[in-house]
Structure 1
Amino acid sequence: MRRVISISDLREHARRRLPKILFDWIDGGAGDERGLRENEAAFDAYRFLPRYMLDVSQRTQRKALFGKTYASPFGIAPTGYAGLFRPGADLMLAQAAEQAGIPFIMSGTSVSSIEDAAKLAPNSFWYQLYAAADVEITRHLIGRAERAGCQVLVVTIDIPIAGKRERDLRNGFEFPLRMTPRLAWDGLCHPAWTLAYLRTGGLPVMQNWALYAPPGSSAIEVAEFANTHAYCVQTWEHLKLFRDLWPGKLVVKGVMHPHDATMAMRLGADGIYVSNHGGRQYDRSVAAPSVLPILREIVGPDMPLMMDGGVRRGSDIFAALCLGADFVFAGRPTLYGVAAHGSWGAEQAITILRDELGNLMGQIGCLDLEQGNLGLFLVSMMKAQAQLASAMFPEIRQEGL
Structure 2
Amino acid sequence: MNVDRAVNLEDLRLMARRKLPRIAFDFIDGGVDDEDCMRRNREAFRRYQLVPRYLVDVSRRDQSTELLGRRYASPFGISPTGLAGLFYPGADELLAQAAKVANIPFLLSSASNASIEVVAKLAPDHVWFQIYGTRDERINTDLVKRARDVGVSTLVVSVDVPVNSNRERNRRNGFSRPFRMTPPVVLEALGHPAWVLRYLRTGGIPMMSNWTPYGHAGASAAEVADLYGTLTPAPMIKWQTLERIRAEWKGPLVVKGLLHPEDARQAAAMGVDALIVSNHGGRQLDAAPSPLEMLPAIRAAVGDKVELMLDSGVRRGSDIVIARCLGARFTTFGRPTLFGAAAGGARGIARALQIVRNEIDMVMAQIGCSSFDALDERYLRTEGAGPEWGSELNRAAVEQHIPTIRRQQR
TM range (shorter): over 0.9
Q: TM-score normalised to the size of structure 2?
A: 0.93
Asked whether the 8 Å contact 1:91–1:120 carries over to 2, the reply is yes
Q: TM-score normalised to the size of structure 1?
A: 0.95
Structure 1 pair 101/384, CA: closer, same or farther in 2 (3 Å)? farther
Q: Distance in 1 between matches of 2:117 and 2:175?
A: 29
Count matched residues: 392
Q: Distance in 2 between matches of 1:326 and 1:211?
A: 36
The one-letter code of the counterpart of 2:256 is K
| Secondary structure of the corresponding residue to residue 90 of structure 1 | helix
| Secondary structure of the corresponding residue to residue 226 of structure 2 | helix
| Secondary structure of the corresponding residue to residue 370 of structure 1 | helix
Question: Equivalent residue for 2:329?
Answer: 326
Structure 1 pair 302/391, CA: closer, same or farther in 2 (3 Å)? farther
Instruction: Confirm or deny that 1:128 pairs with 2:130.
Output: yes
The one-letter code of the counterpart of 1:330 is F
The one-letter code of the counterpart of 2:278 is S
Instruction: Confirm or deny that 1:296 pairs with 2:299.
Output: yes
The one-letter code of the counterpart of 2:172 is R
The one-letter code of the counterpart of 2:169 is R
Matches of residues 210-289 of structure 1 in structure 2 within 5 Å? Answer: 210-232=212-234, 233-289=236-292
Q: Distance in 1 between matches of 2:390 and 2:271?
A: 39
| Secondary structure of the corresponding residue to residue 157 of structure 2 | strand
Question: Equivalent residue for 2:313?
Answer: 310
Q: Distance in 2 between matches of 1:96 and 1:384?
A: 43
Q: CA deviation at 1:382?
A: 2.8
Question: Equivalent residue for 1:380?
Answer: 382
Question: Equivalent residue for 2:72?
Answer: 70
Question: Equivalent residue for 1:355?
Answer: 358
Q: Distance in 1 between matches of 2:197 and 2:315?
A: 30
The correspondence for 2:341, drawn from 328, 338, 342, is: 338
Question: Equivalent residue for 2:20?
Answer: 18
| Secondary structure of the corresponding residue to residue 195 of structure 2 | helix
With 128-137 and 92-101 compared, the bigger mean Cα shift is at 128-137
Question: Equivalent residue for 2:35?
Answer: 33
Question: Equivalent residue for 2:121?
Answer: 119
Asked whether the 8 Å contact 2:265–2:302 carries over to 1, the reply is yes
Asked whether the 8 Å contact 1:376–1:391 carries over to 2, the reply is no
Deviations 1:223-273 (A, max 9, x none): 101110111121001001111111111011101001110111121101111
Q: CA deviation at 1:383?
A: 2.4
Deviations 1:37-73 (A, max 9, x none): 1101100111110111111111100100111100001
The one-letter code of the counterpart of 1:181 is P
Question: Equivalent residue for 1:169?
Answer: 171
Q: Distance in 2 between matches of 1:205 and 1:389?
A: 55
Question: Equivalent residue for 1:204?
Answer: 206
| Secondary structure of the corresponding residue to residue 310 of structure 1 | coil
Q: Distance in 1 between matches of 2:89 and 2:354?
A: 22
The correspondence for 2:109, drawn from 107, 110, 115, is: 107
Q: Distance in 1 between matches of 2:363 and 2:137?
A: 46
The correspondence for 2:369, drawn from 351, 361, 366, is: 366
Asked whether the 8 Å contact 2:36–2:286 carries over to 1, the reply is yes
| Secondary structure of the corresponding residue to residue 159 of structure 1 | coil
| Secondary structure of the corresponding residue to residue 344 of structure 1 | helix
Asked whether the 8 Å contact 2:382–2:394 carries over to 1, the reply is no
Q: Distance in 1 between matches of 2:335 and 2:386?
A: 31
Asked whether the 8 Å contact 2:45–2:319 carries over to 1, the reply is yes
Q: CA deviation at 1:122?
A: 1.2
Instruction: Confirm or deny that 1:3 pairs with 2:1.
Output: no
The one-letter code of the counterpart of 1:186 is E
Q: CA deviation at 1:140?
A: 1.0
The one-letter code of the counterpart of 1:298 is A
Asked whether the 8 Å contact 1:103–1:126 carries over to 2, the reply is yes
Q: Distance in 1 between matches of 2:288 and 2:74?
A: 28
RMSD: 1.3
The one-letter code of the counterpart of 2:59 is S
Q: Distance in 2 between matches of 1:24 and 1:179?
A: 15
Gapped runs of 5+ residues in structure 2? 396-410
Asked whether the 8 Å contact 1:376–1:392 carries over to 2, the reply is no
